[in-house]
Structure 1
Amino acid sequence: MSKDTKTIAVANHKGGCGKTTTVVNLAAEFGRMGLSVLVIDLDPQANASLHIGKKHPSEVTVTCAELLLSEVEKLPLAIHEDTYLEGVSLIYGSLGLGRAEDELKDETPRPSEELRGKLIPLEGLYDLILIDCPPSLKLLTSNALAAASHLIIPIESGSQYGMYGVTDLLKHVTRIRRINPRLELLGALLIKHDERQTVCKLLEGAAREQIGKLLPIRIPTSTKVNQAAMAQTSLHTLDRSAKVSREFRQLALHLAEELGLKVETASNG
């Protein structure tokens, strides 16, 4: 019986809200659960690729940019199974994605649906596909949302500007659902959250009111996030006892249950 692949876009056009951190550490936790995971880095900054990839994006022949602009036959060349995270494969991002976005707009009849078409052969091959989106509502994010079955919206809880532009994002999601009616919101994920701070309490209330659904796990502020990125590893590998590591573990377990994924119980501790 083939797998029912779940594709999760992690999107918010506000920068610095934890999109890449969420993708990388969820991928690591899902991989530890025995699930097969593919990370697609759709951000021209390629931070997810720099974090978990064993090559520099400039050394990769077929990145997301080339994949979007090519025939689907290039898909096997784009997937790199050897990463720093066990059980996690990667399609690299690159600076070329900026150029690819312009070419998609000018040269393709359905510019928001290119990624979805390219990923069709992967259906059933992975348990999960995680898409790291750029801080933009342009064509790259539209392609991610059109290809996804689910959406997570990370919100920087510790910032008074954390909800800036969320209304525009939700309107964009509504528009994308015209071409992808299966897109389901898993919830907003509060990042850098400290329930003792008034700004975090206020922002949590605003997020619940505007977005409607919050994930039950809160990700705290931690210097270990940057340390893990510099070490090209996951938070769990860096320090499994840290609170931020435990919360990402709980988030992965929650999502696995909600998505109906069968995980290896021996890895759940």
Structure 2
Amino acid sequence: MSELSETRWIVVANHKGGCGKTTTVVNLAAELARLGLSVLVVDLDPQANASMHIGKLHPSEVEVTCAELLASEVDRLPQALHEDTHIEGVSLIYGSLALGRAEDSLKEHTARPSEELKAKLAPLDGLYDIVLIDCPPSLKLLTSNALSLATHLIIPIESGSQYGLYGVTDLLRHVDKIKRINPKLEFMGALLIKHDERQTVCKLIETAANEQFGKLLPVKIPVSTKVNQAAMGQMSLHSIDKNARVAKEFRKLAEYVIESLGLTAIEGK
């Protein structure tokens, strides 16, 4: 653990699918852990891709996932936490298809449906240096729950797609709305994914993203087949090929995040 006891809660969100949310969460978590931080991944996406990448169990085999945690009237957090994962130093709370039903249940049975996750995860504050939350491609209640407890937000943008910024106005409007109940939420920046400086579309997206968000992270994640290799092998990009450019960029991202949050890395790891 770092000297600071306060946990940083980083949400990775964008209501557009295929923009690299899960890739960012998994590989940023792996690099943060390699730098000596204690890290937890909370998979709030019904697709549970982060869980299938990191976890040693299939989500269908897990008794208490984020869905059961949200829906239960009793504390099931100890059963939801899994420290034994495929990535050393990274703990996991699994996602599952049942999150869709849990979202509906929150609307019907909870007084403050956007703040239930915050209440359920409150006991973890101070136990981890960083908690990374992977959100579904939606601006509905699950993403609102994540943003309501977050201290920081990263928005991945698919730089290599002409539709990478589709719906940005809606996304920013939703974030502003959540800030009314969570004024501490800080935007760390937009993260360009599948970026290729040689491609005109990437240059255009970079310029437009900087104009619309006002802040880009100083790291650009390139296109790489190693991303899919790592996911299929349930490994980090560093484990696949530590010298690959995409692995080095995630290392730089982790170093930037640590510096920005005032945390301390363990040198030489």
**Normalising by the residue count of structure 2, what TM-score does the alignment of the two structures yield?**
0.98
1:90 is matched with 92
Question: Post-superposition shift, 1:71?
Answer: 3.6
CA distance in structure 1 between the aligned counterparts of 2:228 and 2:268, rounded to whole angstroms: 29
Query: Does 1:265 pair with 2:261?
Result: no
- For residues 71 and 55 of structure 1, the distance between their equivalents in structure 2, rounded to whole angstroms, comes to 25
Corresponding residue for residue 101 of structure 2: 99
Residue number among 242, 245, 248 corresponding to 1:243 in the alignment: 245
CA RMSD of aligned residues (A): 0.8
- Residue identity over aligned pairs, in percent, reads 73
After TM superposition, the structure 1 stretch with the greater mean CA deviation from structure 2, 62-71 or 212-221, is 62-71
CA distance in 2, matches of 1:77, 1:185: 31
* Distance verdict in 2 for CA 1:72–1:149, change over 3 Å: farther
Residue identity opposite 2:33 in structure 1: G
Residue 37 of structure 1 deviates from its aligned partner by: 0.3
User: After TM superposition, which residue ranges in structure 1, 4 or more long, deviate above 6 angstroms?
Assistant: none
Contact 1:225 1:235 in 2 (8 A): yes
Is the partner of 1:131 in helix, strand or coil? Answer: strand
What does the per-residue CA deviation read over 1:68-119, in whole Å, with 9 as the maximum and x for residues that have no partner?
A: 1124621111000000011100000000000000110111110000001111
- Counterpart of 2:135, as a letter, is C
SS at match of 1:266: coil
- Counting matched residue pairs gives 267
| TM-score normalised per structure 1 | 0.98
Please name the residue that 2:9 is paired with: 7
Amino acid at match of 1:83: T
- Distance, in Å, in 2 between the alignment partners of 1:50 and 1:147 is 24
In the alignment, the residues of structure 2 paired with residue 195 and residue 117 of structure 1 have an alpha-carbon distance, to the nearest angstrom, of 43
Q: Which runs of 5+ in 1 are unaligned?
A: none
Counterpart code for 1:94: S
Distance 1:106 1:73 in 2: 20
Residue 109 (1) aligns with residue 124 (2): no
The answer on 1:66 being equivalent to 2:68 is yes
Unpaired segments ≥5 residues, structure 2: none
